[in-house]
Structure 1
Amino acid sequence: MAFSIGRGTKVSVGRKVGAATTFTFTQLNGVTSIELPEVAADEVEVTHFNSPANYREYISGLVDAGEVTFEINYDHESATDTVLTEIYESKESIQLKFEIINGETQIWNAGFLKAYNLVVSDGEVIQKNPTFRINSLAE
């Protein structure tokens, strides 16, 4: 079994510039951890009068792509903070690209930047942590 550490993983945000129809990606610097989306299907109950053995019955419903959160070492003068602040204030839809060190790349369509929180702890580096609401996996 081969294990890997996350060192070398890259996070980028994709934005449409002007009238562009494609996304231009900018790598975010200072990212220390990522919590990738937990994709889950809704449960739709379809129990009826003749359901077998008095058990409820379910089918899979719509899929919720969830949220993605990552931690960033905060530098208020960085290009990373500037681009995330612009995205938060503009409420624009973007794409997020995660290039995991094991060779996997995931691109997600983000609905919006839901939160961009400052975290201050005694004896720790200050962080500013974005949470994006995800719409779907990009095709």
Structure 2
Amino acid sequence: MPDGMLGYGATVRIGRGATPAFTELELIGDLTLPDEQVDEVEVTHMKSPGRRRQFIAGLIDSGEITIPMNYIPDSPTDVLLRSIKASGEEVILEITLAGAEDPESFSAFLKGYGRSAPIGDKMTAEATFRLSAQIVSGG
């Protein structure tokens, strides 16, 4: 196994419908995977050992992921993302890193879809998904 790997080759797919039909997002850029955070719940009481606050792990917040991409107006990716944003539907967001055997999948909704058209540079877009739950595939 190598001591390091490039991220080149990662894919992001969107699944829609009861029996999801998946569509790969085109021309994606650098990905920063979600940083899931665990809430802390204080359980301190009058006889907490050593007069110390006590905590337990709470619920996990899956957070958000922003997917940068080259923007092509009216491309299949653009049409898909505008449609998902307009509908407010929950989709399956599937991220597969280069070299990974299995994708990471989340139920999510499209929180924002920003597009940019600068005069002297490429057009870009960012799709921000709010993640609700991690989907673990059964084996």
TM-score, normalised to structure 2, is 0.89
Mapping for residues 86-125 of structure 1, pairs under 5 Å: 86-104=83-101, 105-110=103-108, 112-120=109-117, 123-125=120-122
Q: Is 1:75 aligned to 2:76, yes or no? A: no
Cα displacement (A) at 1:2: 2.3
Report the Cα distance in structure 1 between the residues aligned to 2:16 and 2:31, rounded to whole angstroms: 20
Gaps of at least 5 residues in structure 2 are none
Question: CA 1:106–1:59 in structure 2 vs 1: closer, same or farther (change >3 Å)?
Answer: same
- Aligned partner of 2:39 in structure 1 is 42
5+ unaligned residues in a row in structure 1: which ranges?
none
Aligned pair partner of 1:32 in 24, 29, 34: 29
> 2-side partners of 1:121 and 1:55: how far apart?
55
Match of 1:55 among 52, 55, 58: 52
SS in 1 for 2:99: coil
CA change 1:120–1:55 in 2 (3 A) is: farther
Task: Compute the RMSD of aligned alpha carbons.
Answer: 1.5
- Larger strand proportion, structure 1 or 2? 1
Q: Higher mean Cα deviation, 123-132 or 23-32?
A: 123-132
1:12 paired residue number: 13
What is the identity percentage for the equivalent residue pairs of Structure 1 and Structure 2? 36
Q: Aligned residues, how many?
A: 134
Report the counterpart of residue 133 of structure 1 in structure 2: 130
CA 1:121–1:43: 2 relative to 1, 3 Å: farther
